[in-house]
Amino acid sequence: MTLKTLGRHLFHQHLKYIVITLLFLSGLLLILDLLNNIDDILSTKNNIVWATIEYALLRLPSIMLLMMPFAILLASLLFLSRLSQTQEILAIKAIGVPFYRFLFCLLPAGLSMCLLFFTTSEWLIPYTMVKLQNWEQQSTGTDPKKQPDPISKTAHSLWLKEDNDFIAIDSVRYDGKILDGVRIFIRDPNNIITQQITAQKAEWLNNDWTLQQGQVVHISQTNLGSFSLSVENFVDRLWKTSLRPDYIVQSSLGAEYLSLLELSDFSKPDFVGANSKYYYESWFYRRIFAPLSCLIMILLASPNAQLIPRRTTLSHNILISIGLGFLYFVLDGILLTFGQTGILQPLLAAIAPLLIFTAVGFWGLIRSDE
């Protein structure tokens, strides 16, 4: 058997283990999620069966992305354990193939999952999450203009910047076409506020925004250096802005639901949003490097699988690998928080878990080969 034939065989078998494990874990978690949200599904006015299928399809990508690294870890451990127990790894070594060359044969499956991970997080998740939020609003069967059902309602307002002006929004609902609690601060070229517009609600009608039930405070500076105020109340007022509902919805979502290009735009110094620059920058680098966790999981499983027939039991090594994987996720979450708050540089926070557990994986390989 040539190395090319061996690699093709291992790729198909390894990928089969990963797909089966991923589908099993994702399906199990999806069932639990359906049971947890069954009241919302049953409350829809649509066909119950179709509503369940639609909800499941919208939730499945995020569940699969969540379970993918753990599924790869478990599948790789089971796959390598089977090869080791049936002496296939020993036979491969006997024909002159070093263990590290054998591990290279596992890279294609890992790289395929890296590509799937990135594709899902970059394109599929942002699309499905917005659709899911719209579905949840429509399933209530209420008029969104009469009853608030916010897409985003945080402890602090959503802040946006347009040219030299600032916009604060309390909550965003109905696909971004209704905004509650809008405050617009208009500034002159010297960054001095000249107008403050406050409205209870802004509604997207005929490709334009209409501010409702608010007032305009005109601020002017006198020759003596003091300021004078004049107040103008309004029922409806046209709001000329380039901000469209889709952009506002994207701004109101968490960074995990934004695309890489959107994260790059939100990381710019002149952007003012619901979170700090560090927050979006951390998620930007995490989006780039997170797919590599699929390869880390294979690396963490490899040394323990090699030790199974010689030194310890299968269950013991499964616990070791699961423990290492759990520590990776814990460390990754902690460092991501440090990056979001500016304690660590966002780039360092994104790559540190990968570097640390790559070193752990190689140390385990060296130790297991002694």
% of the chain surpassing 70 pLDDT: 85
Residue 175 lies in a domain: yes
- Given the structure tokens 């797919």, which residue do they identify? 291
- With H, G, I as helix, E, B as strand and everything else as coil, classify residue 159: strand
Do 16 and 88 reside in the same domain of the chain? yes
pLDDT tens per residue across span 298-310: 998 887 656 545 5
Do 13 and 121 reside in the same domain of the chain? yes
Do 118 and 156 reside in the same domain of the chain? no
pLDDT at 153: 44
When pLDDT is averaged across residues 329-355 and rounded to a whole number, the result is 93
Do 51 and 117 reside in the same domain of the chain? yes
CB within 8 A of 243, min separation 6: which ones? 160, 162, 167, 209
pLDDT at 309: 52
* CA dist., res. 210 & res. 218, Å (int): 19
Q: Is the pLDDT of residue 250 over 80?
A: no
pLDDT at 147: 43
Which stretch of 100-104, 273-277, 331-335 has the lowest confidence by average pLDDT? 273-277
- pTM (2 d.p.): 0.78
Residue 326 lies in a domain: yes
Residue 277 lies in a domain: no
Do 120 and 28 reside in the same domain of the chain? yes
Which stretch of 114-128, 163-177, 326-340 has the lowest confidence by average pLDDT? 163-177
Provide the number of structural domains found in the chain: 2
Do 24 and 80 reside in the same domain of the chain? yes
Residue 259 lies in a domain: no
Residue 363 lies in a domain: yes
Do 109 and 8 reside in the same domain of the chain? yes
Do 184 and 71 reside in the same domain of the chain? no
Residue 197 lies in a domain: yes
Residue 119 lies in a domain: yes
Do 168 and 111 reside in the same domain of the chain? no
Residue 307 lies in a domain: yes
The tokens for 223 are: 């020759």
Look up the domain containing 181 and give its range: 152-243
pLDDT band at 253; cut points 50, 70, 90: confident
| Other CB atoms within 10 A of residue 223 CB | 5
Do 128 and 158 reside in the same domain of the chain? no
% of the chain surpassing 90 pLDDT: 38
